[in-house]
Structure 1
Amino acid sequence: MAADQTYDIREFPHDPQILSGQRYRNHLYYVAQLAIWLGNLYFVVRFLAVLFSAHTWQMWLMLLVEAIFLHQLLVIAASKVEKNGPRKKLRLQGNQNLPRVDVLLPCCGEDVDVILATVRAACSLDYPDSRFRVLVLDDGGSMALKEAVLDLRSQWNHLSYHSRGRQSGMVFAKSGNLNYALTTLQGETQPEFCAILDADSIPTPDFLRATLPHLLQSPDAALVSTRQYFSNLPKGDPLSQTRSHFYTCQNAALDVLGLAIDAGSGAVFRRNAVVQVGLYPTFSFSEDWQLSQILHGMGWRTFQVQEPLQYGLVPDLLTGHCAQQNRWNIGHAQQIPAMLSSDYKHYTRTLRWNIACNGFGIVAGEVGCFFGFLAVPLLFVSGQVIPTTSPSVVKAQTWLALGQVLIMWIYEYLQVVHNGFRSAPFAHLENKWLSGSNILAILRFYLVSDKPKGSSFVTGSTLNSWNQHALSRCRKLYQDLLKNGVFYNFALILATIWAVSYAIASVMTAHNDPTFTSLVSSIAFPPLLHICYLTLTNNWVPVAYILKPPHYPDRKSHPPIDSKRPFSRPETKNEAVLESRWPGVGKVRKDILHLGSRIEVQELTKL
């Protein structure tokens, strides 16, 4: 019997903002296709114009920088699949004969109170307690956490504590921790599905009922990931810590293809699929990302659900945010040497090649942005940046360039409207101001030490110095400017402004009445102005953060619910029934719903 006939799965309507954006779906698709064709034509014309002219290094550098920042082929091409619409909003009904699930909660040195909040929410899920277990996997070896979990077992007997001992600072500890659960702890009792929650990610009561249907209806699907929402996000999200572009644009498009990337916490997977592909990979710090690629290479599909089903915590210091980004990029860099070694010959050649190329592409993107930003002031002071062989050559390059930049801006705004969220144009470049820091972290990891010194790579660990808020303002400013590299961003902004001023003065001095050719071949070339805008706006982000540090709200503080656009409560049992079955769930549920209200109000006020 088919999976969707075995279980009672119901479909619910999407939120209004998602439905309203769908009317722009066809517009986005056709604009994306136009952008692809126009972009290809533009770069062919530009390449030939430079090649068959008295070219200079400035012209080749300009063409290279354009290729880095203007060619969005991968992002734009992904939008082609969005013609199928967003993923359905499903709910698993009933309580009889539901699949068994293990909720895995790996932790390593995070604050005990933070972990326990997640534990209580996980134990209180709207799911029969006879059909799921909560396994706390403590790699921090905390006796305080062990005792607290054992105390909670009197309230929830489907909760248990497990530890491999103190693994803090060990390489690949999280993937090893999860594999320990999938093998040693599940040796006798093997569930059909497993869910993963980070130590600070509080799930909503209907977390399992909202995610399992997508796997139950698709036997060839191995994993469903959920978009990550946060309860302590500062107003305006100045550091793009929500990664909204990734979730709502890139991963949403991959989801329709069945190729969504697992973003870590809040994932639910089919246990036999992960065991079949060799468990969690241990060659990278980004084990969730690489697991997705391995599953795809072995014929499994993966999905993403956009609904707010979990609420985590973002690093509330710039140092913590930088360290988190560094760790992710080190993880992507690790894909390359791992796939070139003989240790993974059990993967097919095609799979190894795809994983290695993916890692190389991500690292190359960081390198490209770093040198691309540096090249902007150099291009402004260098004078002529395009060939001026003839007036027709100048006009062809200029008008095609203007059309290419314009269609990209139109695409960016349509993408925002279609996906129902507010984002700055070209948000796929979010956190590229950190490209230099990420490259340095990769080099330090391979050339100096591949182990963290005196701390942990776990973002929320109290062992990390960036989670200790007792630093003086001067010490914190020193740390941000030098250790986090913001001095480089500040210097780059000043250099760019100076270069633009110098270029304008030079053109005006050389030409009392500047011609069209003299302007568009230097300071007024549309792509150069566009890339200058990207350089200034991206590198201003950390500078603005230091000049006006944002306020990170405490998880327990909740603003009033917006009566006009209230948080959509999931369809589930009423609180009285839940309270009778799970004592104490009422307070947990109320806290989670308040969190949902706060997150949705923040999201909607951005629209």
Structure 2
Amino acid sequence: MGAVTLSGIALIAALFVPVPLGTQAILAWGALGGLFLLGALRVRGALRLAIYAITVFVAGRYIVWRLVHTVPTEGTAGEVIPGLLLVSAEVYAFWLLLTSVFVLLDPIRRPSVTLAGCGEAARPRVDILIPTYDESPEVIEATVLAACNIDYPADRLTVYLLDDGGTDNRLANDPDGSRAARAQKLRAMCEAAGAHYQSRPDNNNAKAGNLSAGMAHGDGEFIAVFDCDHMPTADFLDKTLPHLLNDSGLWLVQTPHSFLTPDPFDRNIRTQGGTPDENEMFYGAIQQGLDRWNASFFCGSAAVLRRRAIADAGGFQGRSITEDAETSIEMHARGWRSAYVSEPLIAGLQPDTVSSYIGQRQRWLKGMLQIFIWRNPLLTKGLTTPQRISYLAIQTYWLFPIARAIFILAPLWFLLSGQVFYLATPEEFIAYTLPFLLAVIAYTNIIFGRLRRPLASEIYENAFTFYLLPIVLGTLLSPAKSQFNVTAKGETLIHEYLSPRAKPLIALTLLSVSAIGYGLWQSLTTAQGEAAMMLVCGFAGFNLLLMLAGLGAMVETPGQSERRLAVAEPVRWRLSSQHGESATGEVVHITTTGRCRLHTETAEPPEAGARITIHSARTDRRLICDTERATRQTNAIELELCHKPADYADRQAWFTLMLGDNAALTRAFATRRQRRPMPMALLAVIRQALWAPIRLARVSVQSRHQRHPGDPEPNQPDQEEA
């Protein structure tokens, strides 16, 4: 530890040593070469620290140089103010880099454990809480049935559906009876499935109040929480409970939010299935890093909590609109520990539209900034220093719309006004700025390359920025002014249309094209500052490329939320009309809506429309399916089957076939976590950017006069997430 400390001190000192410009160029580009070499070698262990050190060295020297030599202190307001804003945004970006390095310094992956050594009689009681508000009964039903299907002694597991859509105050204001009908349908479903339907008098404190009220209905030693669109695997408790049983100081075991439907950006640009989604960078790396510092936190679902710990804190914390993170900081301040298990154990639904997706991020942003203001980690007693830094890293990330807006608008201001607010020569740009930019890109790809496509985060943040920026400023000025709304899930999109969220991007795209055109004209007609003008045109052009790629993702693509999963489940099957010997086969693809693909080596495939019975060793129940199509392949027959459940027991057996354990989920996420070289990623972004204007032209006319799922109501605030 002493050697690491001395190395850190030496690194900090090296950031401030003045050297000639030529020496700086040699240092920066030499360090950059070392970074690329370490990345190519995929180094691990102690050598991984060299990646962090090189990145901080190159970036740190750039920031020191920027602050000392390049910020205008004299001149017009059009030079000084943009100059200060730009360098402030860069310092903020450097802060995010430093906190990222700290959080990811030594991530841990907890070993897989099970309840194998714990007899049924010794297993503790567990209450499962599923909070809901106004989601569709079809979405809720799948989660309730999957929760009831968890492999655990039935007399020690109780499932509660906590319906905040059926509270007394909402049913009292139900002119068309739709709320009462929904509540009755959910009540009947719970009774048939073996779950308990619960509501409360009011909706006070939103999800936090709902969960706290739900705790009163059970007495389990542990509480598992699932969002109503998060279907757990049957082995969920088997993979999570042992950590809590082995460590009485743990209050939480959190698992990833793993999704089998694409987010709307991936679906709209047709990259789903083969690439990680936006959440995987957080759940695949950052939570493991936070776990090292006892700072992994509750994410509102897919978690098991110790009842006594939550009760000691007075229930789930609900001052902010992100009750999960607020509860976490309270529990950590009380001295409780948390654990993160990185295995995917739930199959969730993503928001279906860009409107819902951005609304979800608005809520996360607002809630995190509320906690930053009301429960600032630097002022909260009981937290350790690593916990304070970790929480600050997560909370201050959500200030990114301010910095991103500056990075987008700064080059446009220079091109349109001619005001110089970045005092640097081309030689200094080569020695300081370019190595800094390349080092940050290389660092991101080395650390997160398996979990995020290169440039994907930049596209997302550019698309979100000018919708999130007012939320940032409004929350900083008035943190108490907030509303807890629900993200729509399970929507069906019938045809393509242009999301109304595209308007800021369209305006910025037109502004960027105008500014770049004006800048190029200036560079051709005037001799002054030609190199600087061309350089800034390059930055503005890169931003334009990202904005165009984001615009392409704003064209909503038709589709329906359906969780699909590649599996390898051996089964036996036979024609339902016959009682002879069954044939062997393997289910290789399955959905929650009752469809599957079966491979079999039988010589005679059943005809389309034939009814067959399939049986898996996972369940004693035989499942009746209709054959929709039979296709002869080289060594097998492929059957497309459709299962129409006769009752809830049938549906639960089907879910056992799909989510009987987490092996298939693990394979699915491992398959799509593949590195993509930066040149290929850049070509993909260019292709998306070039295709975007064509897609916009095709859908803009009809979408102008239509409303679609997830769009905000006229004159109503944007929706946020539950």
Shorter chain as denominator, the TM-score bin is 0.7 to 0.9
Residues 253, 380 of structure 1: alpha-carbon distance in 2 compared, 3 angstrom cutoff:
farther
Other-structure match for 1:311: 347
Query: How big is the shift at 1:269?
Result: 1.1
- Which amino acid is 1:555 matched to? E
Answer whether contact 2:224 2:303 (CA < 8 A) is retained: yes
CA distance in 1, matches of 2:111, 2:479: 48
Query: How big is the shift at 1:407?
Result: 1.6
Of structures 1 and 2, the larger Rg is shown by 2
For the pair 1:365 / 2:400, whether they are aligned, the reply is yes
Other-structure match for 2:366: 330
Correspondence list, 1:575-590, <5 A: 576=617, 579=620, 584=650, 585-590=652-657
Other-structure match for 2:208: 175
Query: How big is the shift at 1:138?
Result: 0.9
| Correspondence for 1:274 among 291, 310, 315 | 310
For the pair 1:92 / 2:87, whether they are aligned, the reply is no
Answer whether contact 2:221 2:307 (CA < 8 A) is retained: yes
CA distance in 2, matches of 1:297, 1:259: 10
Other-structure match for 2:463: 433
Worse overlay, 193-202 or 353-362: 353-362
For the pair 1:66 / 2:98, whether they are aligned, the reply is no
Answer whether contact 1:232 1:553 (CA < 8 A) is retained: no
Map Cα deviations across residues 457-499 of structure 1 (whole Å, 9 max, x no partner): 122379xxxx5868x97xx64xx33xx3x22112213323433
More helix by share: 1
Matched pairs, number: 538
For the pair 1:503 / 2:523, whether they are aligned, the reply is no
CA distance in 2, matches of 1:429, 1:295: 35
For the pair 1:402 / 2:431, whether they are aligned, the reply is no
Other-structure match for 1:103: 128
Other-structure match for 1:604: 671
Q: Secondary structure at the match of 1:81?
A: coil
Q: Secondary structure at the match of 1:133?
A: strand
Correspondence list, 1:48-447, <5 A: 48-50=68-70, 56-57=79-80, 59-69=83-93, 72-82=97-107, 85-93=108-116, 94-96=118-120, 97-141=122-166, 143-144=180-181, 147=184, 151=188, 157=194, 159-165=195-201, 167=203, 172-182=205-215, 184-186=216-218, 189=219, 191-233=220-262, 234=267, 235-237=270-272, 242-335=278-371, 338-339=374-375, 348=381, 361-381=396-416, 382=418, 384-387=420-423, 395-396=427-428, 398-417=430-449, 420-425=450-455, 427=457, 430-441=460-471
Other-structure match for 2:503: 487
CA distance in 1, matches of 2:469, 2:185: 41
Answer whether contact 1:112 1:145 (CA < 8 A) is retained: yes
More strand by share: 2
Query: How big is the shift at 1:377?
Result: 1.4
Answer whether contact 2:233 2:661 (CA < 8 A) is retained: no
Residues 132, 250 of structure 1: alpha-carbon distance in 2 compared, 3 angstrom cutoff:
same
Query: How big is the shift at 1:537?
Result: 5.2
Q: Secondary structure at the match of 2:154?
A: coil
- RMSD, matched Cα: 4.3
CA distance in 2, matches of 1:199, 1:281: 20
Correspondence list, 1:26-65, <5 A: 26-50=46-70, 56-57=79-80, 59-65=83-89
Q: Secondary structure at the match of 1:140?
A: helix
Correspondence list, 1:471-482, <5 A: 477=498, 480-481=499-500
Query: How big is the shift at 1:408?
Result: 1.4
Worse overlay, 116-125 or 226-235: 226-235
Q: Which runs of 5+ in 1 are unaligned?
A: 1-19, 568-573
Worse overlay, 193-202 or 92-101: 92-101
Residues 562, 49 of structure 1: alpha-carbon distance in 2 compared, 3 angstrom cutoff:
farther
Residues 148, 579 of structure 1: alpha-carbon distance in 2 compared, 3 angstrom cutoff:
farther
CA distance in 2, matches of 1:119, 1:246: 27
Map Cα deviations across residues 157-187 of structure 1 (whole Å, 9 max, x no partner): 5x211110463xx6x31100111122x324x
Worse overlay, 378-387 or 51-60: 51-60
CA distance in 2, matches of 1:126, 1:575: 16
Residues 32, 268 of structure 1: alpha-carbon distance in 2 compared, 3 angstrom cutoff:
same
CA distance in 2, matches of 1:304, 1:356: 16
CA distance in 1, matches of 2:301, 2:58: 39
Q: Which runs of 5+ in 2 are unaligned?
A: 1-39, 167-178, 571-585, 590-614, 622-647, 675-722
- Which amino acid is 1:543 matched to? L
Answer whether contact 1:255 1:302 (CA < 8 A) is retained: yes
| Correspondence for 1:524 among 535, 539, 561 | 535
Answer whether contact 1:32 1:77 (CA < 8 A) is retained: no
Other-structure match for 1:11: none
Give me the TM-score of the superposition, normalised by structure 2. Answer: 0.65
- Which amino acid is 1:138 matched to? D
Other-structure match for 1:15: none
CA distance in 2, matches of 1:576, 1:356: 46
Other-structure match for 1:458: 486
Greater relative contact order (Cα < 8 A, sep 6+): 1
Q: Secondary structure at the match of 2:284?
A: helix
Correspondence list, 1:550-561, <5 A: 550-555=557-562
- Which amino acid is 1:113 matched to? E
CA distance in 2, matches of 1:24, 1:359: 25
Give me the TM-score of the superposition, normalised by structure 1. Answer: 0.76
Identity of aligned residues (%): 21
CA distance in 1, matches of 2:190, 2:391: 45
